[in-house]
Amino acid sequence: MRQAFIGVDVGSTSARAGVFDETGKLLGAAKHPIRVWHEPGDIVEQSSDDIWAACVASVRNAMREAAVAAEHVKGIGFDATCSLVVLDPAGRPLTVSPSGDPARNVVVWMDHRAMEETEFVNATGDRVLRYVGGAISPEMEIPKILWLKRHLPATFDAAGHFFDLADYLSFRATGSLARSTCTVTCKWTYVAGEGGWSEPFLRRVGLEALAADRFARIGTEIVPPGSPLGRGLSEAAARDLGMLPGNAVGASLIDAHAGGVGAIGGRDGSGTEVDVCKRLAYIMGTSACIMATTVEPCFVPGVWGPYFEGMVPGFWLNEGGQSAAGAAVDHLLRSHPAHAEVLAAAKGDGVDVIEFLEKRILARAGNAGAAALLARNVHVLPEFLGNRSPYADPGSRAVIAGLDLDTDVSALERLFVAGLCGLAYGLADVIDALQAHGACGKTIVIGGGASRSPLVRQIMADTTGYTVALPQTQEPVLLGAAMLGAVASGAHDSINAAMAGMSALGRLSEPTRPELADFHRKKRGVHKMLRDLDRNTREAMKRAPGEAPSS
């Protein structure tokens, strides 16, 4: 073996690592769980030390599985969820928790404690909000930091560093305080090309203290993803990871963006140069992100961005998303009376619940396209965690219509398919918004856990009318992170070159019969009715007299 590269992906509940060769072939992978604390009030917290330990275990086990010696590894890259990490000036954890536990120093992306702060920031109407679709999200970092200032001022005042989790991992690996343009542009209101950090904005939202030290606590050195950091792996990090000191470490990416890098630039066998602007990336995990690359900036209400070089160097990025995707499907399945029966049967077959259900559904329907017809009379608006885009409504909630008293496995199958349809219609809403403002592609390249499902891919193709492509690799997110290490090591001179050299497209799902497009068009009409119902019911109860009893 000439050289290998490692990608590390930190998701909502686990850290994963993958070892790839110079062609992008996966040689070995491993994952390790991360502890998550859930508390009342939409509080979700983690520990940065626990996350690093999970990364260490994953890297060591992936290298062992790949049978790759440390001297063959030439670079490593990290990606992570857009969670907030808080450290003191010496790099030690500071609590972000009402519990006061010092280990709990990470506000997870899905933590919605900062709803009031989000509304306050959006009420300013500051011009930087143009670059987040017109309204900031409680998933982003500025509302979370403002919450800390208001509710845990001792932590806010003592903080020496506020990191996006992806940047924390590269800091932990190298000691470099550099931030990635991906993280600060997409989640922190840093506007590349327009002065970077906006001191008037921070002053307007009450965070002038972040500007008082010339932005030292949130990042003064901003570098493109894949840039080599510091002197590579520090002695301590190398000991932890079982790698060599000085090994190249590339500036990080947000997890979905790593999936985009690992997917949209793939070779398609035609021999023509890939036009990334003709491909949308749809990365499905606990949540989902829909990303469009453009040459010129596109301002799309309710869709995050435009972000200059937020993902691919030289291009602008618009980022839509669904706050609950895999999490929504899992919740639907667990809530059904037949779940225990299906879980037991699936374990007996050596598969997971979703694979078990899909096998039954496809056998009954005959093909993936016709399977959608099972959900003719069951409809799901799967917004258990609100709408990220294009409606930018974190208060929206799920609505299910058409349930009866059936409790058998067939009823669970119908609910499952209806949930997949609901996710596809949310994707179509984002695509419509992008198209209306000039950002559009011709192909959706899908990655993440659900991407291997032919049922998911076909429903999305029939709903949107787009070709849905599967990356050749089973792990586009890990591959995208590994590409960062490849670029930092000099094996590729740019992210664009790494995408062309290390990735390719695989199976394609094309839209099927016209009558299925008409079927999905009608169900999308019901989907809109459910959205209107949710909005109207919340408005009605907002005006209702009386307060709910405190628990």
Q: What is the 3-state secondary structure (H, E, C) of 418-487?
A: HHHHHHHHHHHHHHHHHHHCCCCCCEEEEEEHHHHCHHHHHHHHHHHCCEEEEECCCCHHHHHHHHHHHH
**Whole-angstrom Cα distance, residue 220 to residue 197?**
9
pLDDT tens per residue, range 509-526: 999 888 899 999 999 999
In the block, residue with structure tokens 């667990």: 334
What's the confidence (pLDDT) of residue 1? 62
Tell me the Cα Rg of the chain.
23
What's the confidence (pLDDT) of residue 551? 42
Sort strands 505-509 and 467-471 into parallel, antiparallel or unpaired.
antiparallel
In the block, residue with structure tokens 């939202």: 205
* Protein fold of 326-429+523-540: Methane Monooxygenase Hydroxylase; Chain G, domain 1 (1.20.58)
pTM: 0.90
Residue 77's nearest CA partner among 504, 496, 505, 489 is 489
What's the confidence (pLDDT) of residue 221? 97
Name the residue ranges covered by the structural domains of the chain. 326-429+523-540
CB atoms closer than 10 angstroms to residue 518: 10
What's the confidence (pLDDT) of residue 550? 46
**Whole-angstrom Cα distance, residue 423 to residue 450?**
11
What's the confidence (pLDDT) of residue 545? 75
What's the confidence (pLDDT) of residue 537? 96
**Whole-angstrom Cα distance, residue 459 to residue 527?**
15
Per the CB < 8 A criterion, the answer to whether 439 and 404 are in contact is no
What are the average pLDDT values for consecutive 10-residue runs of the chain, which has 551 residues?
92 97 96 97 96 98 97 98 98 97 97 97 96 94 98 98 98 98 96 90 98 96 97 98 98 96 87 84 92 94 92 92 93 97 96 95 93 97 95 95 96 97 97 90 87 92 95 95 98 94 93 91 98 96 68 42
Strands of 224-270 (E only): list them: 248-254
Helix (H, G, I), strand (E, B) or coil at 499: helix
